[in-house]
Amino acid sequence: MDTAERVPSFFDPKEFEDWKRVRGWKTGEIAEAFYRHVRNLNVAGAVVEIGSYAGKSTICIARAVKDRHKGQQKMAAIDKSFQQDFIPNLRRFGVAAFVNPINAMTTQAAETWNEPIAFLYYDGFTDRQALTDFIVWDHWIAVGGTVALDNTAGFWVGPGLAVQAAIGSGAYRCVEDVCGVTFLRKKRPIENIGEHPRGEGTLRAHLDYVGAWTGAFTLDLERPRPVYNHRQPVSHRVRRSLIKGWRKGWRLLRRSPPARATPALSEASQILSRLERQVAPDSTAAPSIAYLKACLALRQGRLSDAIPILIRLSDLPLDSAFMNYRLGVRETALLRLGQAYDLQGDRTKAQRTYRELLQMAETMEIAGAAKRWLDEPFKRAEPAEGKLLREYVANDPLGRYRSSFFPAQ
């Protein structure tokens, strides 16, 4: 994490350094957003977190509850398997008394819930169960209340579907998107999500997913390699067992489940194949699908497949745009075409393409990239080791053009 990261307003510098050592994948910017949204709630109701893990986000939310209600209210923290350092972490930051831990699955907890919710933070499932959980818990969200959904940067379909259901139905509006955490404000109780026929929200969520994992909307086509792609730290149970007896500990360690794997490009390929079959060639989504198909081919080194698609896209009208980004298809395709020629070793064609792009580019960041690679050949960026998925979002120059969560406000 960048040592120059801004200290959240509710931490002193020493507390912030201590908080950064708490296990979890949150940034100071997200911590500040949690605190601000809970502190400034203007509707009555409970504050709930689903998916607390070791308490990194719980600390921030509980601090806001403590400051907002002068110590007269507790938040609910729901998790099916709290980490052993959860309570110690809360105590260290002086917020344990303001948290009510509920050890249960999300749907089980919803069955016994019986009060309105003013703020819900969801960091639970990342598959389609996230959509199910959101619809179940929507029943309890007060109108005017806030829902913060994590993992919405496009790397996981489930939370993306939940956001699309919320916004596409007109029941919620997006008020802020911070490093892969989307803050929604409820306008009325929820309907835009479906596979048969495929709803627009479903289509947007899948386009986001493929785009995120292929690096299609990063200037240098950088594909993420998340930090949790590596084996997680050995558990306390394994560590104690290793101390008591190395043989027993070794057996437990060997039985430990592997870390979650990064979704394969083959999965992105399967999604694009389905979309091509289901979406008409003259649909407004067709250019987005074709562009992602070309980027996937570039990622896989299939330059001869990518180049014809990019040539066709670079001939589209100037007003052709992506479904999920406020970027011109033509200028973005030209940038990729120049990069493809560079990867092919044809510097003459690459420079000619970059010059053509500079004559028509409307996006400052794309024009700047074209100038850069006009002077030096493009080389595909290697993913940074140990980089958080949300850091790709925070540091992405084209991220501010993403429109997935703002089409139907």
Mean pLDDT, the chain, rounded, equals: 86
Residue 294 to residue 343: CA distance in whole angstroms: 14
**Residue-wise pLDDT tens digits, 177-218:** 999 999 999 998 876 555 555 678 888 889 999 999 899 999
First to last CA, the chain: 34
The predicted structure's pLDDT at residue 232:
43
Alpha helices (runs of H) in 177-234, residue ranges in sequence order: 200-214
Domains annotated on the chain, with CATH: 13-193 (3.40.50.150), 210-224+262-401 (1.25.40.10), 232-261 (no CATH)
The predicted structure's pLDDT at residue 278:
84
Residue 76 to residue 291: CA distance in whole angstroms: 44
Residue 393: pLDDT band (50, 70, 90) is confident
Strand 99-103 relative to strand 75-79, pairing: parallel
Residue 35 to residue 38: CA distance in whole angstroms: 5
**Residue-wise pLDDT tens digits, 134-160:** 999 998 999 999 999 999 999 999 999
In Å, how far are 5, 82, 107, 343 from 111, measured between CA atoms? 40, 20, 6, 55
Residue 402 to residue 358: CA distance in whole angstroms: 22
Residue 102 to residue 405: CA distance in whole angstroms: 31
**Residue-wise pLDDT tens digits, 357-379:** 999 999 999 999 999 999 999 99
Mean pLDDT of the 211-234 span: 72
Residue 402 to residue 389: CA distance in whole angstroms: 16
**Residue-wise pLDDT tens digits, 2-23:** 446 789 999 999 999 999 999 9
Looking at the whole model, is its pTM more than 0.85? no
Residue 399 to residue 153: CA distance in whole angstroms: 10
Residue 7 to residue 12: CA distance in whole angstroms: 7
Residue 320: pLDDT band (50, 70, 90) is very high
State the burial class of residue 164 (Cβ atoms within 10 Å of its Cβ: 0-12, 13-18, 19+): buried
286-299 helix and 200-214 helix, angle to the nearest 10 degrees: 20
State the burial class of residue 70 (Cβ atoms within 10 Å of its Cβ: 0-12, 13-18, 19+): exposed
The predicted structure's pLDDT at residue 280:
87
